[in-house]
């Protein structure tokens, strides 16, 4: 381990940085449809309430950055956090939702009948959406963005300050891909992860390895972590799922 004597003068002030991954709040599409990159998908009343409660949970933090996907539902969630914390929102397109191509806007029930559905479920590293993006590409750009932000914020950290923490507001599949990379999981296993609306997932990146501190923490009672009837059927909710939101239809697969 490096000592003060053999540490370069230009070494970062800290060797660890914590990333808080926040999924956007509920929208009217979170449940029946795969919203993807469709424009005009805004938080609904439930989502706005989730974002407000999440902002209160994060109160007291002084994040080095608050970064968001460019899509409206993430921007609106981030703005609620920014208003509470006083940290401006920076948009990074690399955290945008996967481009689901011609799947965008379709119901999960219909998509489950497509041959590609089984590839997305069982071998996502090989899945490319028709007219859209490969999940492997989504993963690569999101992981690259995390590494970039980690390096940038560590360089900016001042000696004697607390180790930096920053927040990224993104989408279910994007967050799952980042977590899978941090855990050394193959992308084909990322459908085993669950990321609900307005959940917080915490990762600390150190010089030697990342640590998963929290996964899919919604701040709700433990009963909220139990699966719904739809979630016990085995297939993952492409796009992330609706979690325990009051309006969620327990019989509908959730994007």
Backbone phi, psi, residue 241, to 5°: 90, 165
pLDDT, tens digit, 9 for 90 and up, residues 24-64: 999 999 988 999 999 999 999 999 999 999 999 999 999 99
Structure tokens, 28 = 């009217």
pLDDT, tens digit, 9 for 90 and up, residues 156-194: 999 888 899 999 999 999 999 999 999 999 999 999 999
> What pTM was estimated for this model as a whole?
0.86
pLDDT, tens digit, 9 for 90 and up, residues 245-254: 544 433 333 3
Residues 6+ apart with CB under 8 A from 45: none
pLDDT at 99 over 50: yes
CATH fold for the domain made of 17-233: Rossmann fold (3.40.50)
Structure tokens, 85 = 């914390």
Break the chain into its structural domains and give their ranges: 17-233
DSSP 249: -
| CA within 13 Å, CB half, 102 | 6
Scan for tokens 């084909």, then name that residue: 188
């Amino acid at each position: 381990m490096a000592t003060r004597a053999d540490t370069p003068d230009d070494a970062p002030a800290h060797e660890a940085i914590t990333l808080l991954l926040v999924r956007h709040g509920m929208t009217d599409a979170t449940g029946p449809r795969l919203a993807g990159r469709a424009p005009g998908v805004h938080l609904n009343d439930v989502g706005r309430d989730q974002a407000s409660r999440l902002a209160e949970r994060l109160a007291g933090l002084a994040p080095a950055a608050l970064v968001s996907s460019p899509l409206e539902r993430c921007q609106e969630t981030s703005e609620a956090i920014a208003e509470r914390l006083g940290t401006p929102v920076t948009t990074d397109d690399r955290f945008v939702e996967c481009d689901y191509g011609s799947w965008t806007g379709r119901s999960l029930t219909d998509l489950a009948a497509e041959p590609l559905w089984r590839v997305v479920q069982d071998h996502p590293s090989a899945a490319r959406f028709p007219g859209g993006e490969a999940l492997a590409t989504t993963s690569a750009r999101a992981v690259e963005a995390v590494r970039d932000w980690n390096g940038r914020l560590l360089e900016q950290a001042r000696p004697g300050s607390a180790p930096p923490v920053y927040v990224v507001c993104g989408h279910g599949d994007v967050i799952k891909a980042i977590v899978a990379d941090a855990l050394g999981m193959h992308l084909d296993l990322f459908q085993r992860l669950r990321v609900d609306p307005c959940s917080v997932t915490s990762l600390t990146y150190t010089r030697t390895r990342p640590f998963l501190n929290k996964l899919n923490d919604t701040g709700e009672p433990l009963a909220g972590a139990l699966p719904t009837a739809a979630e016990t059927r085995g297939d993952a909710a492409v796009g992330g799922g609706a979690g325990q939101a009051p309006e969620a239809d327990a019989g509908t697969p959730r994007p």
